[in-house]
Amino acid sequence: MNVFNQLSIWLSFQLSIIFLIGMPVTLSFWSIKKRNKAVNQLLSIYWKISLLFFISLLLLIGKYNYALVITNIATLLMTVSVWFWNDINDELREYDFSYSLITTTKIWRWTITFISFNFLIQSLQNFNCFSFINSDACAIWLQPSSNLYVFIKNLFNFFFGANFTQPISKFLGLFSLLIYILGLIQWLIIKLPKNGRNSNFSKNGKN
């Protein structure tokens, strides 16, 4: 793996922290303060879907071979989740450019779309890492999770006086993945046919 590719992957992870975690947190508080139900509902759905991204980080810490596959699925689902809802899209189109919360939300949606597809393209350039993340050529993909592992390990030891290991992280990740898949199947079978692409954000009236 050349230096440019390593730098590109490192930068993608840094951008992910900002736009997949930091920016949504800011928008969540902002939408609550402005009492904007459309953006608030959008972010609520986003956080539910983004749980898969955090699960993938646990799997990367545990060096689960297919962790990179889960990470890419997570980022793609997160992108879909912010564009999928017709009622939210219609609401956002009603605001002009001067309404800063909506404008920032629109920019954020396009940004995570770019990050998601950029992440996928970079992953495809290292296709072997999809099935064998533990190879030396895939070490750069594990570096960000390694830093997170050290942080969680210290935090876990501080609060519980126990050692947080990579096998524990892998177990927690796989168990959480199972629960997530069951929840997603339930939504696909029960809620999607009933509500379609309607998020129901306006049930209690628009702001």
What is the residue extent of each domain of the chain?
3-195
Distances from the Cα of 51 to the Cα of 16, 64, 161, angstroms: 14, 17, 26
Classify the phi-psi angles of 86: left when phi > 0, otherwise alpha if psi is within -120 to 50, otherwise beta: alpha
Q: Which pLDDT does position 206 carry in this prediction?
A: 45
* Residue range 117-144, pLDDT digits in tens: 988 988 888 888 898 888 888 888 887 7
Q: Across the chain, which distance is largest between two alpha carbons, in Å?
A: 55
**Structure token digits, residue 76:** 């793609």
- CA pair distance 155, 126, nearest whole angstrom: 32
* Residue range 11-67, pLDDT digits in tens: 777 788 889 999 999 999 999 999 999 999 999 999 999 999 999 989 998 889 999
Q: Which pLDDT does position 50 carry in this prediction?
A: 94
Q: Which pLDDT does position 107 carry in this prediction?
A: 95
CB-based contact 28:36 (threshold 8 Å): no
pTM for this one? 0.88
Predicted confidence band at 112 (pLDDT cuts at 50, 70, 90)? very high
Higher pLDDT, 181 or 6: 181
Instruction: Report which DSSP code applies to 187.
Output: I
Show the CA angle centred on residue 179, arms to residues 174 and 180, nearest 5°: 90
Whether 4 has a pLDDT exceeding 70, the answer reads: no
CB-based contact 19:115 (threshold 8 Å): yes
Residue type for 112, please? I
- CA pair distance 120, 194, nearest whole angstrom: 32
What are the residues whose beta carbons fall under 8 Å from the beta carbon of 39, sequence distance 6 or more?
27, 30, 31, 92, 101, 102, 105
Q: What are the strands, taking DSSP E only, across 86-164?
A: none
